[in-house]
Structure 1
C-alpha cells in the first residue's frame, strides 16, 4: 500500500525546478546568454510532433462507437469545469484576486491528461479503450477550446496581449507539428512506440524547463509579492473542493446515463483530470509575452499533484474490489 501512496517523482521535480528558479535564476534571467525561449519553443513543437506520431487513427475510429461516454468526458473537461469557475468572476472583477481567478479558469479550461488517465483507468479495471480515445482526443479539442475560454477575459485585464502573436504561436508550435506528426505516423509510428519511455522523459524535461523559465521571470518581476501564505493555503483548499465537486458530479452524471462499472470509472477518472503538459505549453502561447505565466500555472500545479494522489488511491481500491468481485463470481 505504501508503494501506491508514494509521491510522484515528477511532482517533486516541479518543486525542485521552482526552487532552482528562485535561488539560481541566472540561466533564465532576461539578460541570460542561453536562449531558453527558443529552446522551449522548439521543445513544445517536438512534444506535439511526437504526440501526433503516437495518435492512433484506429483508436479514434473505434472510440467513436461509445459516443455517450465520450460526450460526457469531454463535456466535463471543457464545459463543467469552466462553468464551476465562471460564476465567481463578478466577485473578483477589478480586484487584486482577478488574476488568480483567471489562473483557475485557465486550469479549468485545459484538456485531460493522457498517460496518467490511461494508467489509472487500467489500474481500476475501467474501460481502457475509451480512456485512450478520450485522453487522445482531449488534447486536440483543447487546442481550440482552451484559448476560446480564455480570450474574452484576457481582453479585460490590464496585461498587454498581442492576439496575432498568440494565434501564430498556437499554429506554428502546436497545430502544424501535430498535423505533421499525424501525417508521418505510418513511417515513424513504430519508432515512437518503441521509444515511448524516452519521449515521455523528453516531454517532462521540456515542461520542467518551461516551469523554470516562467518562475524565473515571475520572481524577477516580483509577481508573487501580492500572494501571501494564507492565499496559497486558500488556493490549495479551493483546488481540493473543485476536484471533489467534479468527481461527485461526474459520478452522478454517469448514473443518470446508466454507465456500466467500467464506463463509470473512465468517465470519472478522465473527466476530472487536467493536463500539466498542455497547461504549460498553452500558457507559453497565451501568456508567454507577459510576466504572469508563473502565477497562471499555480492552481494547475496544485491540482496536478492532488489528482495523482487521490485518483491513484481510488484506482488501487477499485482495482482490488474488482479482482475480489471476479474471484467471488468464479467461486
Structure 2
C-alpha cells in the first residue's frame, strides 16, 4: 500500500496530529473568545451537528431497540460513574506516596468522576461499526446523570463540594443533544428513500466535526500561560492515563465478549468507548 493510500485510509489519525500541531503553533485562533468562537461554534453548533447527523442516519427502530437495552445501559453507567472513580481513587492512594505532583493526581481523580463523553464516544462507535444508537443514549443519559452524580463523587473522593449550574448545563445538553437528534429523526422520515439511496458519508462528517472539537480543546490547553508543572510528573501522569485507558478497555472487552454476556460485537464497541472515556462538560 502506497503512502498516499495509507494516509487516505488513516486520515482521521493524521487529522488529529495536524490539528494538535496547528493548535500548538497558533492557539489564539481556537481559544475561547478567539476568532473561531468555540464557546458557540463548538459547544453548540458542532455538538448539535453530530447528533443531528446521527438522528438523520439512524433508523428509528435502532434507537428504540437501544433504548430498551437496559443491561447495556446499567453496565456503562455503573462502570463509568462507580467502578472507574473507585479504582482511580485506590490507585491514587498508592501514587500519593510518590513524588508526583499532588495537583495532577487530584486532577486525575476529578476527571475520573466525570460522566461519559457527549460526542466523541458516538463518533468513534460509528466509525468502527458499533452500536451507535446505544452510544447516543448512554452519552446523553450519562451526561444528564452526571449533573447530579459528579458533584457527589467529587465530595466523596476529594472532600470538596462543587457548585454545578444545573439549569444551564441541562438546557445546553437538551438543546445540543436531544433536540438535534429528534430533528434528525423527523427529517429522516421525510427523506428516508433519498438518504438510503445516496449513502451519504455521515461518519466522515462527524469525524471532521470531532477534529474541530479536538483542535479547540488543545488551543485552550496551549494558550494557558500559567501552567507550570514538573515535566517528570506530567510525563508519569500521561503514562498512568494511557495505562488506565488500555487496561479499562481490555477489561470491558473481556467482560462483554465472554460466553453468556448477552452483548453483541456492536454492543461491545459502544460499551468500550462509552465506559472508558470521560467528558469535560462539567469541568
Two-structure CA RMSD over aligned residues (Å) = 4.0
The partner residue of 2:224 within 217, 221, 226 is: 221
CA contact (8 A) 1:113 1:270 kept: yes
The answer as to 2:231 corresponding to 1:232 is: no
CA contact (8 A) 2:76 2:271 kept: yes
Change (3 A) 1:170 1:19: same
Give the length in aligned residue pairs.
262
Residue 98 of structure 1 is matched in structure 2 by 106
Residue 17 of structure 1 is matched in structure 2 by 19
CA contact (8 A) 2:56 2:188 kept: yes
The partner residue of 2:257 within 242, 251, 255 is: 251
CA distance in 1, matches of 2:132, 2:38: 33
CA distance in 1, matches of 2:146, 2:271: 15
CA deviation after TM superposition for structure 1 residue 248, in Å: 2.2
The answer as to 2:87 corresponding to 1:83 is: no
SS, match of residue 273 in structure 2: coil
Moved more, 139-148 or 71-80: 139-148
State the TM-score, normalizing by the size of structure 2: 0.72
Change (3 A) 1:133 1:232: closer
CA contact (8 A) 2:72 2:271 kept: yes
CA distance in 1, matches of 2:180, 2:254: 37
Residue 53 of structure 1 is matched in structure 2 by 56
CA deviation after TM superposition for structure 1 residue 98, in Å: 2.0
CA deviation after TM superposition for structure 1 residue 143, in Å: 4.5
Residue 189 of structure 2 is matched in structure 1 by 186
Q: Deviations over 1:42-61 (max 9, x none)?
A: 12222222222223222345
The answer as to 2:207 corresponding to 1:171 is: no
CA deviation after TM superposition for structure 1 residue 159, in Å: 7.4
CA distance in 1, matches of 2:275, 2:190: 28
Q: Deviations over 1:50-74 (max 9, x none)?
A: 222223222345668xx7xx33432
The partner residue of 1:35 within 34, 37, 56 is: 37
CA distance in 1, matches of 2:275, 2:206: 12
The answer as to 2:282 corresponding to 1:286 is: yes
Q: Which runs of 5+ in 2 are unaligned?
A: 97-101
Q: Which runs of 5+ in 1 are unaligned?
A: 123-130, 288-331
Change (3 A) 1:244 1:225: farther
CA distance in 1, matches of 2:33, 2:142: 34
Change (3 A) 1:225 1:246: farther
State the TM-score, normalizing by the size of structure 1: 0.63
Q: Deviations over 1:137-157 (max 9, x none)?
A: 444534533544434346776
Residue 99 of structure 2 is matched in structure 1 by none
CA distance in 2, matches of 1:113, 1:29: 23
CA deviation after TM superposition for structure 1 residue 232, in Å: 0.9
Residue 72 of structure 2 is matched in structure 1 by 73
Change (3 A) 1:205 1:20: same
Q: Deviations over 1:149-168 (max 9, x none)?
A: 43434677687753332122
CA distance in 1, matches of 2:33, 2:273: 37
CA deviation after TM superposition for structure 1 residue 244, in Å: 1.8
SS, match of residue 34 in structure 2: coil
The answer as to 2:158 corresponding to 1:152 is: no
Q: Deviations over 1:252-297 (max 9, x none)?
A: 4xx355x5xxx55345343323399x96xx53x434xxxxxxxxxx
